[in-house]
């Protein structure tokens, strides 16, 4: 059978895992001989780490890559192949029905966090805000992805600024829902920025239509990037800020330092912090 690309294109969204709605990866199926061969395209401006596992591993008849990194804006070929009897079978066989996909921002082997980097407080110069939940906060900062997150009591409509230079890889602003239970977690509007050392800064709970940047933009430290809100899993208006590194088990938050802020202030709620420059 002559090799031919299918018109079927399957996109994977990170909505369930990370709460983002834009398509990050595209699966490109292709018929070659008696098999469906699938390539995968990365649509964002950072590497992506993917773990594949067949849903019916004991009866799986094809070949596949169990885990791999796709470079930014690149395509990786032959991530798996699956035998088919006739071309129309490939239309009925969807990759998302065959595999579980675990997707993580970044390259677990390539992130080298700069432990001495001084982040800028993520709001406008001269302003002061209270930390309402710091490192290891009992309400929601009690697991690996948020253990070193900081919540600032920013009001709805306040301006959020980039804490570090980087590239925008997620910009979600379509939600108007929020609440005090985890069932609202996926409704959080947010911005994710990729840094040169392989880390990612997450700015969450933005107001609907409150993103001031575009996917792929390079933003500078201190630049206005969004408007604070109260969407997603939230007990009240605030900015949730956290820096994470990619690991093979998923994203993990890391401790950070802010300019002119003593580390002990980040461990307790109720402390006031001022951006001086």
137 and 163 housed in the same domain: yes
Round to whole Å and give the CA distance between 239 and 160.
Answer: 8
pLDDT band at 126 (very low <50, low <70, confident <90, very high): very high
Same domain, 84 and 140: no
Asked whether residue 142 falls in the same domain as residue 251, the answer is yes
Report CA Rg, the chain. Answer: 21
pLDDT tens column, 157-202 = 999 999 999 999 999 999 999 998 889 989 999 999 999 999 999 9
Q: Is 83 a domain residue? A: yes
Contacts of 240 (CB under 8 A, 6+ apart): 146, 149, 150, 151, 188, 202, 203, 204, 205, 234
Q: Are residues 75 and 125 in the same domain?
A: no
Query: What is the number of structural domains in the chain?
Result: 2
Query: Looking at the domain assignment, is residue 113 inside a domain?
Result: no
Q: Are residues 15 and 77 in the same domain?
A: yes
- pLDDT band for 5, please (50, 70, 90 cuts): very low
Domain boundary residue among 83, 105, 127?
A: 105
Of 59, 78, 105, at which residue does a domain stop? Answer: 105
Are residues 145 and 96 both part of a single domain?
no
147 and 232 together in one domain? yes
For residue range 37-93, list pLDDT tens digits in order: 889 999 999 999 999 988 887 777 778 999 999 999 999 999 988 777 555 555 445
Can you tell me the mean pLDDT for 82-106?
71
Q: Is residue 182 part of a domain?
A: yes
Q: Is the domain of 84 the same as that of 200?
A: no
% of residues, the chain, pLDDT over 90: 57
Which pLDDT score is estimated for 87? 55
Last residue of a domain, one of 63, 78, 105: 105
| pTM for the whole structure | 0.87
Q: What is the pLDDT of residues 190-246, one digit of tens each?
A: 999 999 999 999 999 999 999 999 999 999 999 999 999 999 989 899 999 999 999
As given in the structure block, the two tokens for residue 266 are: 């980040």
Among the ranges given (2-6, 77-81, 137-141), the one the predictor scored with the smallest mean pLDDT: 2-6
Domain assignment of residue 169, yes or no: yes
Q: Within this chain, do residues 268 and 225 fall inside the same structural domain, yes or no?
A: yes
Shared-domain flag, residues 145 and 70? no
Q: Cα dihedral sign for 239, 240, 244, 249?
A: negative
Structural domain including 128 reads 118-274
Q: Based on the fold, state whether residues 61 and 186 are members of the same structural domain.
A: no
What pLDDT shows up at residue 10? 46
């Amino acid at each position: 059978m002559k090799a031919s690309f299918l018109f079927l294109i399957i996109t994977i969204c990170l909505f369930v895992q990370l709460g983002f709605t834009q398509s990050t990866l595209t699966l490109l199926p292709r018929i070659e001989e008696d098999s469906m061969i699938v390539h995968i395209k990365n649509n964002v401006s950072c590497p992506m780490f993917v773990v594949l596992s067949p849903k019916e591993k004991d009866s799986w008849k094809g070949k596949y890559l169990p885990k791999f990194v796709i470079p930014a804006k690149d395509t990786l070929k032959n991530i798996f192949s699956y035998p088919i009897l006739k071309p129309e079978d490939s239309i009925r066989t969807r990759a998302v029905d065959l595999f579980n996909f675990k997707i993580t921002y970044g390259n677990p082997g390539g992130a080298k966090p700069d432990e001495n980097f001084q982040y800028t407080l993520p709001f406008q110069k001269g302003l002061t805000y209270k930390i309402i939940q710091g490192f290891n906060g009992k309400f929601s900062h009690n697991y690996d992805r948020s253990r070193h997150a900081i919540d600032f009591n920013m009001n709805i409509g306040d301006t959020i600024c980039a804490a570090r230079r980087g590239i925008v890889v997620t910009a979600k602003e379509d939600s108007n829902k929020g609440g005090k239970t985890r069932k609202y977690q996926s409704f959080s509007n947010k911005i994710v920025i990729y840094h040169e050392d392989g880390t990612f800064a997450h700015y969450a709970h933005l107001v609907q239509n409150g993103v001031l940047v575009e996917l792929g933009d390079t933003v500078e430290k201190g630049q206005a990037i969004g408007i604070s809100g109260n969407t997603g899993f939230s007990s009240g208006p605030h900015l949730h800020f956290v820096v994470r590194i990619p690991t093979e088990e998923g994203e993990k938050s890391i401790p950070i330092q802010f300019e002119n802020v003593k580390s002990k202030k980040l461990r307790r709620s109720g402390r006031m912090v001022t951006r001086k420059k």
